[in-house]
Amino acid sequence: MLDPTASPRVSPRASGLGVRVSRGQLAFGGTPVFAELGLDCAPGSFTYILGSSGVGKSSLLRMIAGLVPNSKGAIVASDGKPLSGRIAYMDQRDLLLPWLGALDNVMVGARLRGQSQDRERAAALMAQVGLSGQHHKLPNQLSGGMRQRVALARTLMEDRPVVLMDEPFSAVDALTRMKLQELSARLLAGRTVILVTHDPMEAARLGQCIHVLSGSPATLDDGLYPAGSGPRDLADPVVTDLHRTLLGKLEVAIS
Amino acid sequence: MNALARGAVTIAGVLAAWQIFVWVSGVAPFMLPGPWAVTTTWFDHIGYLTEHAAITGAEILLGLGLGTGVGVISALAIISFAPARRWLMPALVVSQAVPVFALAPLLVLWLGYGMASKVTMAALIIYFPVATAFLDGLRRTEPGWLDLAETMTGGKRPFAVLWHIRMPAALPGLASGLRVGAAVAPIGAVVGEWVGSGAGLGYVMLHANGRMQTDLMFAALATLAVLALGTYFSVDWGLRRLIPWQIETAPSDRQTSGG
């Protein structure tokens, strides 16, 4: 990128990569979590995986991220190659390193890979998440919402075509959470994003494809594909309809 | 009242009780000299005592440096290489199972009456706490940080993860080991001096004891205590500066700050 002041979020290789999971299998201590799981995420879409606590949402995301060594099945990108090295992962905890300042936390990926650190791009991302003046603050000097924004900037800094998010922002208050969800939806537009959540309203507002994970071993339903993309207005009839449908599906899943 | 003032009051109380006991009981000065007698002896021998304190102090610092260096390298080798885990772990445990004091005569025999045997003694005594505390710290890295690093590097750079994540995360653990090490290192140096030496505070104490100069012995003991406290608090201060992100809490903090 020649102009450091230009928006750093859109880069040619950061879009247009779908993700397909087929015959996914995972077991913990002999108990199957998934037996024959399939998931198809269109390039550049926001896919939500909704489910109650303990059903295996986080395990599914960790499996796609390649963090579960004993899983089976095929997880491939739409270009037929493995996903390794092309995903960014964001946990529900900010996972900032407490000994590094905010800007250094944003650039930690390059540091770990032994690459040169692009300070200008990191500073531009910090500005986009609204933290321009906080470059040298240690994580324990920032509020919970600010730490989550640093984590979001770190995720964007990785500039990967696929982004996996495990209940992001669930640790902050409701208003901050809503603002952060809208911010991340805006900044992540164009990438293939897979998110897990237990909140049907979040999925209804932001999802382009919404699956419910349920059962034991867990399976995904066929999914809902609401028109348009998020963030949708809370008063939008599409949102209220989706919310009701998703709550119904969750209720069926539990009973 | 701050901690320093409270400490001074406690010490003054103990010294007063000691002086009163010596006056009232009329115990012979070679059995138990009073604090006043010890203080005057200390000032009479100030040059002699500082000269030997410098030697003991050097032994403590060199021992701390050597023991910490070897301890840190051992812990890093154990966490990084499976063969090191199999071969070094037993050595680490054995190093603590054999009483270091029993090794003192051997060390003097092998390394001589000079500083080398005392430095080795101090290093041996702090090696175990430093190595185990650092190793525990290295093993208990937040799994979420390791997952994040895994997705960022594809698992291809384990040494970068060790250097940038595991090691800084283990510094609070290493600090605990170093604090224990700083507290016990003077014991190692002095035990080494007792077994055989021509210099150092341990030598002064042994020599004074043999000639019934009990007041000089107490003066050397007081000097050693100052040296040991100085070592401990310097190390503690240095570690706090080095690890500013470490949040310290104690259950009693909440009661005092809330009240």
Give yes or no for A2 touching B (CB within 8 A): no
Do A225 and A107 fall into the same domain?
no
Do A151 and A169 fall into the same domain?
no
Give yes or no for B149 touching A (CB within 8 A): yes
Q: Which range marks the domain in which residue A245 is found?
A: 40-86+160-255
ipTM: 0.86
Do A112 and A228 fall into the same domain?
no
The region that residue A168 occupies, defined by phi over 0 for left and psi between -120 and 50 for alpha, beta otherwise, is beta
Cα–Cα dist A77/A28, whole Å? 26
CATH numbers and ranges of domains, chain B? 40-240 (1.10.3720.10)
Do A144 and A243 fall into the same domain?
no
Distance from first CA to last CA of chain A, Å, rounded?
53
Cα–Cα dist A206/B55, whole Å? 71
Strand duo A72-77 + A219-220: pairing: unpaired
* Domain assignment of residue A81, yes or no: yes
What's the CATH code of the domain at A219? 3.40.50.300
* Domain assignment of residue A92, yes or no: no
Do A49 and A139 fall into the same domain?
no
Neighbours of A166 (CB within 10 A): 23
CB contact under 8 A, A112 and B161: yes
Instruction: Name the 3-class secondary structure at B149.
Output: helix
Residue among B141, B145, B151 with most chain A CBs within 10 A, to mutate:
B151
* Domain assignment of residue A130, yes or no: yes
Cα–Cα dist A46/B77, whole Å? 44
Whole-number pLDDT of residue B102: 85
Q: Which of A131, A159, A187 is the endpoint of a domain? A: A159
Cα–Cα dist A111/A116, whole Å? 7
Do A116 and A211 fall into the same domain?
no
Q: How many residues does chain B have?
A: 259
Do A166 and A176 fall into the same domain?
yes
pTM: 0.83
Q: Whose CA is closest to B137, among B92, B107, B175?
A: B175
Whole-number pLDDT of residue A5: 42
Weakest-pLDDT range from A12-16, A75-79, B94-98: A12-16
Write out pLDDT tens, residues B127-170: 989 999 999 999 999 999 999 999 999 888 999 999 999 999 99
Do A168 and A187 fall into the same domain?
yes
CB contact under 8 A, A113 and B160: yes
Whole-number pLDDT of residue B217: 93
For tokens 């599409």, the residue is: A238
* Domain assignment of residue A218, yes or no: yes
Q: Whose CA is closest to B188, among B51, B56, B52?
A: B56
Write out pLDDT tens, residues A84-93: 889 999 998 9
A113 vs chain B: nearest CA distance in angstroms? 6
Q: Is the pLDDT of residue A215 over 70?
A: yes
* Domain assignment of residue A147, yes or no: yes
Cα–Cα dist A136/A152, whole Å? 17
Whole-number pLDDT of residue B253: 57
| Rounded percentage of chain B residues whose pLDDT exceeds 70 | 95
Q: Which of A130, A159, A188 is the endpoint of a domain? A: A159
Write out pLDDT tens, residues A192-210: 999 999 888 889 999 999 9
* Domain assignment of residue A169, yes or no: yes
Do A171 and A240 fall into the same domain?
yes
Long-range contacts, stretch B89-98, CB < 8 angstroms, 24+ apart = B92/B128, B92/B131, B92/B132, B95/B124, B95/B127, B95/B128, B96/B128
A238 vs chain B: nearest CA distance in angstroms? 35
* Domain assignment of residue A242, yes or no: yes
Tell me the average pLDDT across B177-190: 91
Whole-number pLDDT of residue B149: 94
Cα–Cα dist B224/B205, whole Å? 10
Residue B84: pLDDT band with limits 50, 70, 90? confident
Cα–Cα dist B15/A255, whole Å? 76
Q: Is the pLDDT of residue B98 over 50?
A: yes
Whole-number pLDDT of residue B254: 54
* Domain assignment of residue A148, yes or no: yes
Write out pLDDT tens, residues A90-129: 998 999 999 999 999 999 999 999 999 999 999 999 999 8
Q: Which of A159, A177, A196 is the endpoint of a domain? A: A159
Do A128 and A176 fall into the same domain?
no
Do A125 and A169 fall into the same domain?
no
Do residues B191 and B202 make contact, with C-beta atoms less than 8 angstroms apart? yes
Number of domains in chain A: 2
The region that residue A234 occupies, defined by phi over 0 for left and psi between -120 and 50 for alpha, beta otherwise, is alpha
Do A137 and A165 fall into the same domain?
no
Residue A218: pLDDT band with limits 50, 70, 90? confident
Whole-number pLDDT of residue A114: 92
Q: Which two tokens stand for residue B59?
A: 């032994």
Do residues A50 and A92 make contact, with C-beta atoms less than 8 angstroms apart? no
Q: Whose CA is closest to B161, among A124, A53, A112?
A: A112
Instruction: Identify all chain B residues contacting A85, using CB atoms and an 8 Å cutoff.
Output: 154
